Copies of this chain bind each other. A is one copy, B any other.
């Protein structure tokens, strides 16, 4: 028996745990994701670890559409958990992946996604060591959902977390915002712009490694995904019990992203990003950190966008391009569901 990847579709038996499941694992998952752990075909993976601090993070991915300019759900799911582990300053090492497939999903699409995951894992230098696949009836899912969990190790003396922003600290953003959100939206709504806007979906762990190496005492790191830059800054302000002043003119937004947002009545501050990060560090470290970031291809447009201030209301305030000031709140309604 062979899988018919070209014309075949997922059926309920692929989730049975029996022969069809084994075939799917053998001829699709193992074919592309193979490594010593998966090859063992146990229900778990074992790896050696040095004493120290470990970091764990998980993300479910339900993005629609599954394929979009600049990426797909497979690479996104790998980068998603890798980036979340990296935002603690840790080095991501191992990933688990669970698939929820809808009956009728084309095997050739699944193959594309698995190939993309394999490439993404390679980019991140992580191993996908264990997995699980379930199948739900037609109309009870939406093609494929992918949950990934990453684990990694944290270097000594690195203590990065959302509650460590201090008054006087500097806020650095690694590049332009809104690319992912606009890329998804334009694909979903079939909008045509002069240039195709691509998602910024990328692995940030190598960038973080460079940053932590240069400035181990970074206070906060976070990737502004769902809810965008605005929501992420608010989260950190709340966690750290501080206020923030940011400067609109310092926040890079690509001209085509800005134009698309204006057309659609959306604010790039709330649009999801999948390959950007915010770093908060002491003023004395900012210049060093900025230089290191600008040396990395994924952060060459890094800029200082603001500073931490004392504020018992924990507000994020923005100095606008027109010289005014406005409060930038958490995202309230959801402008763009299923963005990741």
Contact = CB atoms under 8 A, between A and B. Distances in A.
A163 B19 CA distance: 18
Contacts of A331: 16-19
Interface in A123-165: 129-137, 139-142, 145, 147, 149, 151, 154, 161-163
A48 B56 contact: no
A60 B132 contact: yes
B42 A88 contact: yes
Interface in A284-340: 330-334, 337-338, 340
A229 to B, nearest CB: 12
Interface in A220-241: 222-223, 225-227, 231, 235, 239
A13 B231 CA distance: 14
A235 B147 CA distance: 25
Nearest to A85: B44
Contacts of A85: 44
A215 interface: no
Interface SS of chain A: mixed
A53 B47 contact: yes
B52 A18 contact: no
What range describes how many residues of A lie at the interface?
35 or more
Given A12-B337, A42-B162, A60-B133, 15 more contacts: A15-B226, A17-B272, A43-B84, A46-B88, A47-B54, A48-B54, A49-B52, A56-B96, A59-B98, A98-B147, A100-B100, A136-B338, A140-B141, A141-B141, A147-B149
Interface of A: 12-13, 15-22, 40-62, 84-85, 87-88, 90, 94, 96-100, 129-137, 139-142, 145, 147, 149, 151, 154, 161-163, 222-223, 225-227, 231, 235, 239, 270, 272, 330-334, 337-338, 340
12 contacts: A17-B226, A18-B332, A19-B330, A19-B332, A20-B334, A44-B55, A49-B54, A50-B51, A54-B54, A58-B149, A96-B149, A141-B141
